[in-house]
Amino acid sequence: MTARSSSRLRLRQFSRNEEDRASIPHTRYALLLALVTAAVADVGILFVLWPHALAVDFSVFWQAARDLHPYAFSRSPFGNPPTALLFLKPLELLPLWPAFALWDAASLGCFLWLGRRLYGTRAVVLGVVSPAIVMALAAGQISLLVGSLVFAAFLAEPLFCGVLLGIATCLKPQMVFLAPLLFVFAREIRPLAAFCATCAGLSLIATAVFGPSIWSDWLQGMQNLLVVAEHRHALSLTISPMTYGLPFGLLSAGLAVLGLYQCRKLPNEHRAAAVVAASLFAAPYALLYDLAPLAFFAVLPSCVHRTGKASAQLSPTQVRSVHSASRPCGRACERSTKRRVPTGRRYPVRRPLDCAGCGSPRRDRRRFSSIRAIYPAPA
């Protein structure tokens, strides 16, 4: 590299840094405006549009866990599948309000902890004021628990990923029912098999516990749910295009499948959001609080500098995905990506290992080789 090209490169880098410094105040003002808007929306939803939202959905879960016929016709119908009753049955051991407090505390704690591990601390701090999370927390919805399972699934090994997503599907199918397509597109057999085995096993257990007639009762209960939702004008508040007509529903389903195919090789934090977004986009019925698992991903761009360098507060999953960008396979190593190499210096250099996915060396190996030539290892 000549001196002229080197000076040009330095000048270009300096101008880029100046642009980034100039854009920081504007980014902060936009972020502050978004946070204020979210807080105002939360207050408006809870005190103006939905003043009686406290435990309105949790009371349905609590009553369904105590009833012998949970899908009977009522003003507050229970629409979750029979497999969800297996996990809701312990609610009958507590009164309504202590059970609601324990439910919200456990759901929010798991949601924030697993979201922090997947998306980072800054994303959790910024996304927790989302109206979707606040509505789910106030109503006692199961969306936060399903979101926790999705976060845990994409933090776990492939086999446990399929198991956790299968449990999430058995709790609330419309939020993650397209997860098997992601595994098919990515050609990942182990999580696909674990997902199918988990759904089939929980279905058999529910049939053995509640009887085969529980499935026909569930289908009748879904019709009851649609009638009550139409009577309350709740269908006009859905986020699913399917409720606005069959052509819109078919178009949205096709776009959801196409988007899921495009996300098949992305890092896990992106794939977790893609599964939820595609499933809700193609679902026949979904409400605003079902968007809660997407809140942390929505604020993720504000947690990365404009230069493309990861922030110091990003999660290990994101840092691992940044390190894996130079690998041909595009995958992040599940094991440690660095090892100590003796060089004769006071502090040994950390040298990256080869990729576990494709076996290719890192592009910066030549730099470490030159360091070893300058500082040879002691004999």
Which tens digits make up the pLDDT trace of 36-71?
Answer: 877 787 777 777 767 677 888 899 999 999 988 888
d(C-alpha 60, C-alpha 72), whole Å: 12
Count of C-beta atoms within a 10 Å radius of residue 86? 17
pLDDT band at 356 (very low <50, low <70, confident <90, very high): very low
Q: What is the structure's pLDDT at 359?
A: 46
Count of C-beta atoms within a 10 Å radius of residue 132? 25
Residue where the block lists tokens 């312990």: 90
Which residue, 299, 337, 298, is CA-closest to 317? 337
pTM over 0.85: no
Q: For 264-285, what is each residue's pLDDT tens digit?
A: 999 999 999 999 999 999 998 8
Per the CB < 8 A criterion, the answer to whether 215 and 294 are in contact is no
> What average pLDDT score do residues 290-315 get?
67
Most confident of 182-191, 236-245, 293-302, 364-373: 182-191
Q: What is the structure's pLDDT at 188?
A: 92
Which tokens go with 12?
């270009």
Half-sphere exposure of 165 (CA within 13 A, CB side): 32
23-27, 41-45, 206-210, 262-266: which has the minimum mean pLDDT? 23-27
